[in-house]
A and B are shown apart, each in its own frame.
Chain A
Amino acid sequence: MTAYQIQAEGLRKRYGKTVALDGVDLSVPAGSVFGLLGPNGAGKTTVVRILATLLRPDAGTVRIGGHDLARSPREVRDLIGLTGQYAAVDEDLTGRENLTMVARLLGLPRAEARRRAGELLERFDLTGAAGRTAKTYSGGMRRRLDLAASLIGRPRVLFLDEPTSGLDPRSRGAVWDLVRALVDEGTTVLLTTQYLEEADRLAGRIAVLDHGRVISVGTPAELKRAAGGRTLDVRVTDPGRLADLERVLAGVAGSAPTRSGELVSLPVDATVDGREALDEVLRRAAAEDIAITEIALRLATLDEVFLALTGHDAREGAAA
């Protein structure tokens, strides 16, 4: 028995003079979602391409489902499914034909291939469009078809490379639901994303990748804690009282509040008791008759974590 479904050690890859991966280690427990988080150019796609047997690393070893990727790529391919960054569907074929083709390639007999294709079309809400060629599909429909294609073979390990980039919020939510459903059924999912919210919502564990290196690994909560304190967010009813509120907050924790719109945020470090800080703010605001519409003490967002870890924004390219 292997506890880890995906195990990568010391992955290195360079393209000419550019170092894409500079020693990446990953361990993903079976039946979990693992998020690979990082800006463009951090090396996320390179990791996925190596794990999905599309690219050979210059150094390092990978075991998937207990199989050594370099020695038994075929056994690994039996276990995996891949949805890349671009919807890999044949535009000249219908949705149904795309799925049937993959099913036939995986060795399903004709009737069973059609049945499996129908099942997934249904699941992905594509039955109505099944007879149309994929070039008539919207971006979201293509993405769904692509996802469906990667699930034809009931993969034990699913790689999703930025599965929701370019999708509208509703489609994004649908992909999230699907990932959760798959994991409930025992699939192991490794997904890359530049959306911190996505990693936060889906992944049990996250590795933050920057310049080809894992700079931090942990649960979303651990990462947030590690990146330092919490933030006290307070919103006022009357914008005219913002300056007063800032003064009140500064007096509570001794740190400098920041303002965005009607929201004032105050960093709170670990030495301050959160409960007391909240009480104190409410008391002082009431004393000065400042009406508060919203108040919350929250952990750092992953955006803030990313900034703290890398010194640059998550969306910024890793150009340096």
Chain B
Amino acid sequence: MSDLTTLTITDALKGLESKDFSAVELTQAHIDAMATAKNLNAYITETPEIALEQAKASDARRAGGGAKLLDGIPLAIKDLFCTRGVQTTAASKILEGFVPTYESTVTSNLFEDGAVMLGKTNMDEFAMGSANTTSHFGNVINPWTREGDDTPLVPGGSSGGSAAAVAARIAMGATGTDTGGSIRQPASLTGIVGIKPTYGRCSRWGAVAFASSLDHPGSFGRTVEDAALILQSMSGHDPKDATSAKQDVPDFAAAASGYIKGMKIGIPDEYRIDGMPEEIEKLWQQGIEWIKEAGAEPVKISLPHTKYALPAYYIIAPAEASSNLSRYDGVRYGLRVEGESLDDMYALTRAEGFGDEVKRRIMIGTYVLSAGYYDAYYIKAQKVRRVILNDFVEAFKQCDAILTPTAPSSAFAIGENEDDPIKMYLNDVFTVTGNLAGLPGISIPGGVDAQGLPLGLQITGRVWDEETVIKIAANIERAANFTALPQTLAKAAA
């Protein structure tokens, strides 16, 4: 681990500006680090040639005085974002070898701002999972392990490769997508910061679709300011996405130095669930103390329908997925398995190309949308979705943002929670409400549990108010002073 890979993005930008090092040196340091961390399986496709070319161009821009927001910063891109000329798989066999002829809006925005792409990160297949164990390209390993125990742990999911890469210092930041918690939960399990903005803030154009009304592109960083900076670059109106909002993009990174004195922070009782480890409850109480010390006031609020968010999600998300994934038919791109007829070709291609969890969700979605069940399941779930949104509308009459734990557990071993799909789904119990309501949310590391594993705290804010979320997160970040390192890095640094 070289010094350059331990820098924050903010410090790296200062170093580049004062010519302490070049973008090529910064990028090369990360490419070297990637070579020593292959065991994590964080990347599906590494793109060192592209990265060095981009870094060279960045150095030239900076020399000419035209450096942009993220100029020369090496980032990892979740393999759900289409990248022109670079394989994009969504971690599925059905898209293996797919090379887009176009660039997603989010990656276009990042490249426009000078970002460097180190590679495409591993993830759960089609972003369906909470442990990064459903990828066609193998499991991602969390750089964190339990004290005195080498058992490989999951990084969370679905953006597990992005989270592991940032935590392991083999990327300075990363993009992710969050449909039920897929940025915030892995951020919590790997001890980094993850932001899911308001629905419509980042364009979904060119991002492989899972559940369109719930999919949110967002960012990872090792500090609140870093994650905010990346998000700022990714954001903005895009006419190519009909749900992209015409909203000005504030200076998110500047919000990280803001104060929260006098703010009211909601604490919902309903996020205290059965079987939640005591340490998470303790960290939550600690978080409340931290915001009090920063001058904010905790207020008790109620989100009475929280427990129905997950079952509503597991109707709506599979329903949208079953429609979105109907495009994988062996005709236009991806895998084709020949059959006796067109229909046979479809069914054989999809049986061969999709993994177990993806098939499960397509089938749930098809069932809840089928004749006779549509009203009882799908429409009912959409009504419950509104009830959950209304809970938040009521709560935000009393508070400016909401503080909760991010996930109900720390990182677990590969294979744990696999015996029953519902057990795995429960990982998203605290995050999924934010997707149903489209609200901005962030996870920040608050501390470690008795096994030395990171635990995250989550801030959820009002629609379009990422700035408040970032402010509160940055205040907690300063108070928590989270300096723990994944065991492998701690050893290298010692």
A binds B: no
- Chain B interface residues toward A at CB < 8 A: none
